[in-house]
Amino acid sequence: MANLEEELQTRRTFAIISHPDAGKTTITEQMLLLGGVVREAGTVKGRKGNFAKSDWMEIEQKRGISVTSSVLQFDFGDKRINILDTPGHEDFSEDTYRTLMAVDSVVMVVDSAKGIEPQTKKLFEIVKERHIPIFTFFNKLDRDGRPAIDLVDELESTLGIQAYPMNWPIGSGKILAGLYDLYHKRVELYRPADGAKRFLPLDAAAGDELAAANALQTNPLWDEVKDEVELLQDAGNEFDEDAILRGELTPVFFGSALTNFGVETFLETYMDYAPAPVAKKTVDGTLVEPANPQFSAFVFKIQANMDPNHRDRIAFVRIVSGEFERGMDVTLKRLNKKLRLSNVTQFMADSRENVQNAYPGDIIGIYDTGNFQIGDTIYAGKKALEFEELPTFTPETFMRVRAKNVLKQKSFHKGVTQLVQEGTIQMYTAWDSGEYILGAVGQLQFEVFQFRMENEYNTEVTLEAMGAKTARWVNPDQLDSRMASSRNLLVRDRNGEPVFLFENAFAERWFKDKYPDVELETKL
């Protein structure tokens, strides 16, 4: 048995977040390349089948978007890395928010031409609220972008976090010459001449000039960058590792994921300061430390059909404490049910391998026959514990869903049930007819649902728009089905609880005026 404390100190578990098309998946691919996992990095819109390994779903490859969180594990140096590549599109924010509960730090990728975009800001607020350490990578330096000083200023003013530049760009786009590496006291050349070194040391005795003669010193950008670096050193924030771990200071890096420039330097430095696995909070407010020998973990994601040939269903589990050993017995807290964990995998996107042992910070996949739900706690031993709830969102848009072919009702019901269990779409049934009604945060979720029903369950479906609705849960003891009307549709949620779907705020106010004693609840 390995030493638990030593193993958990080698783990680094983080999510990558960004606005869509900022390059989040591309930088993930370059990390996999650096880790020796792939021979060639793919992109979300890869040609000739060179798709991103983290975008393994067919619809992701066809649409050029990430619509589900991927788990990627590899070794880099002496660290075992667990990357959670999240969807950037706002319609899949719920999946991203839950994924953030399973990580110890976050890498925020920002387009250096566009700066802080709306979805980046939304995701950052969740990270900040939970004091998760965050590292910033300004991407696409190979394209003409905004001045670095403006980007850092916007980062601080818009997000309300202090920034510490670890390196500084020497030009961008066609005149990109390199990076002035403040942390390592060196310059990283963008395209070194044949036989030339990529890294050039700086000479502190010579005022941080290049230690060796180089054409860069005659580049008009050189003096400009030195002035900006001097300004940063005189007037910028001080480097404070404790502030980084509290989520109050973000180290800032520049580079280009597409050309793999600055990514290796970023990853090496990130490994120096990213935290090892941290304690997680239980429902009663106590913290479970990773070094606690009792095995504990929680389910943050469920994915159906990662292998369409086998119609499998996998629960993604973050290990919080103790050591996982294949074949161990655990308790599923919600059902107080004993389970033996024999068929467990670790991931490299769509490929996986059986795991014998795993430690705090690791993400494992448990083949599931329907036992697990998102947010479930599992633990070994007699001491019961339960981790705090994961965030859920009340849907805003609703659709009636039917099978086009009435002879495929079995496949239809199975597909709807399994896809709903993944948590990105919620299912309701009409109170009287039992008809399926789907609720989601955004339209794209319905498109993905329809695509997957046809391609994974061989069942074409029709979706009938019901428009925006406001979902309000009602106490069953106060319910009279005659309260329902065309303006407040009565349905059941997946747990059988009664819910009114109000067509607008006026309809909800009218209901409250007519039934002042009936309590309506919003579930977030």
Residues at the binding site for GTP are 18-25, 85-89, 139-142
**Are the C-beta atoms of residues 233 and 183 closer than 8 Å to each other?**
no
Task: Give the separation between CA 337 and CA 316, rounded to whole angstroms.
Answer: 18
85 contacts 28 by C-beta, under 8 angstroms: yes
Binding residues: 18-25, 85-89, 139-142
- Taking the C-alpha atoms of residue 518 and residue 344, their distance in angstroms, rounded to an integer, is 47
Question: Helix H segments across 79-194?
Answer: 93-100, 118-129, 148-159
Residue with token string 């030339």: 196
Nearest to 299 by CA among 286, 313, 278: 313
Q: Is the dihedral of CA 73, 75, 80, 85 positive or negative?
A: negative
Question: 128 by DSSP, 3-state: which?
Answer: helix
Is 95 within 8 Å of 126 (Cβ atoms)?
no
Q: How far apart are CA 241 and CA 105, in angstroms?
A: 13
Nearest Cα to Cα of residue 46 among 32, 29, 68:
29
Q: Output the six-digit token pair for 420.
A: 């709903």
Question: How does 454-479 read in b/e, with b if 16+ C-beta sit within 10 Å?
Answer: eebbebebeeeebeebbbbbbeeeee
Inter-axis angle of helices 93-100 and 118-129, to 10 degrees?
30
